[in-house]
Amino acid sequence: MRDNFSKQSQALTAAEHRYQWVKALYETASGTISGKEKITLETYIQTTYFDRILNRANVRLMVMSDGQYELKRRELPGNRKSQSGLDLDVIDHYNGSERSADTPVRRRSLSGVSGAGTGAFR
């Protein structure tokens, strides 16, 4: 009887350990870990590919803008409750600023009159 109890106790300990591991894996994959950046497995995979694309795009963009602009994936969510990972920021190396890629910029026309632009590179 004592042997049976010992075996059952070991089996229960192993099952609890496996449960904790599976629970942590589930929370990681579903983006539900409390106190951490909320990112699902799907978003993680997308950001991995997105980072590769951004690296290639930045090579071209730096040439096109004479080194002024660079794109950067936003790493911290604006709202802690929201999903994060695919938002873009634009770094302007000429004036040392960084802004969201969806923020309109002011531009100058050839006549010198300022106007509101809607694109990131106008």
The CA distance from 101 to 85, in Å, is 14
| Backbone phi and psi for residue 91, each to the nearest 5 degrees, phi listed first | -100, 125
**Single pTM value for the model:** 0.52
Angle between helices 41-64 and 2-30 (to 10 degrees): 30
- The count of residues in the chain is 122
| Domain layout of the chain by residue ranges | 1-30, 43-105
pLDDT digits (tens, 9 = 90+) for 55-93: 999 999 999 999 999 999 887 655 544 555 678 899 999
pLDDT digits (tens, 9 = 90+) for 5-57: 888 999 999 999 999 999 888 887 777 777 766 777 787 788 789 899 999 99
